[in-house]
Amino acid sequence: MACVRILFLLGGFAQRGLFFVATGKALTHVSARNTLPAVKPEADLAYVQGLLAYQQGHLPEATQWWTSALSGNQRYVELLHLRVETNLPLAQLAAETYPESSAAWEWLGDATAPVSSVSALVYYQQSARLQPRNNLVWEKIGHVAEAQGNFDTAITAYRNACDINPIRNGACHSAARLAYRTGDWQTVIYYYVRGSYPEHVEGWVELIRAAQHLGLTADAERYLHQAQAENPADYHQLLQSAP
């Protein structure tokens, strides 16, 4: 009985040893890619093989390996998104295989944006529905919608992004800038202040003018003094020509 147990343990060690040997070869020698079986490979090993092919400049082969890795394990959605952001076939596979993954739809949006901003916006919005606290996706929605002239969608997205993470104040300033276009003076002030105040002369002019429009004279003067200290300019002339 003891002999049988020893043989069983040795067999297990041998199988694990073969796996690590194969993985080691994959990392050190290109020809090792051909030693894997023709059947669908284990996801982790497929990812390693794809990485090796990618490093050798063989993108089609890398995509084949990564297709197997992606099909076998959802964790490769984010890993591959970071590595090959614009690989449309892989992004499409990710969204089809894991339709409840916000990361998969964000990846599909990134991969689609260079060829179709309309489709990219749809995919980003789906990503935001699945993970509404992702401020980066809201920022992407804002950028794409603004570029399309869809300002209502853009300002909503920028406001969401700012409210989630005002430290990334670019979204706050974009929300304020678009609100100025529509004469929503309260929103202009709120998001410029929430975004730690403007960083450019144009933003200071909008903030000061918004306060003036609302009759907030003391606030307007305070903003003017702060603007002169942080971004000196001829604000009196700029304010006279600003709407």
What tens digit of pLDDT does each residue of 72-127 get?
Answer: 999 999 999 999 999 999 999 999 999 999 999 999 999 999 999 999 999 999 99
Query: Given this model, what pLDDT does residue 7 score?
Result: 34
Query: Given this model, what pLDDT does residue 235 score?
Result: 96
Query: Given this model, what pLDDT does residue 121 score?
Result: 98
Query: Given this model, what pLDDT does residue 130 score?
Result: 98
Residue 143 sits at φ, ψ, to 5 deg, of -65, -45
- Structure token pair of residue 232: 């000196």
Rounded-to-integer distance, Cα 140 and Cα 134, Å: 10
Query: Given this model, what pLDDT does residue 17 score?
Result: 40
Q: How many other C-beta atoms are found inside a 10 Å radius of the C-beta of residue 23?
A: 16
For residue 128, give the amino acid letter: A
Query: Given this model, what pLDDT does residue 24 score?
Result: 45
Q: What is the pTM of this model?
A: 0.80
Of 100, 115, 114, 36, whose CA–CA distance to 69 is shortest?
36
Tokens 């690590």 identify what position?
20
Low-confidence ranges of the chain (pLDDT < 50): 1-40
* Burial of 133: CB neighbours in 10 Å, binned 0-12, 13-18, 19+: exposed
155-189 residues labelled b (16+ CB within 10 A) or e (exposed): bbbbbbbbebbbeebebbbbbbbbbbeeebbebbb
In the chain, what is the straight-line distance between the N-terminal and C-terminal CA atoms, in Å?
92
Of 18, 53, 15, whose CA–CA distance to 33 is shortest?
53
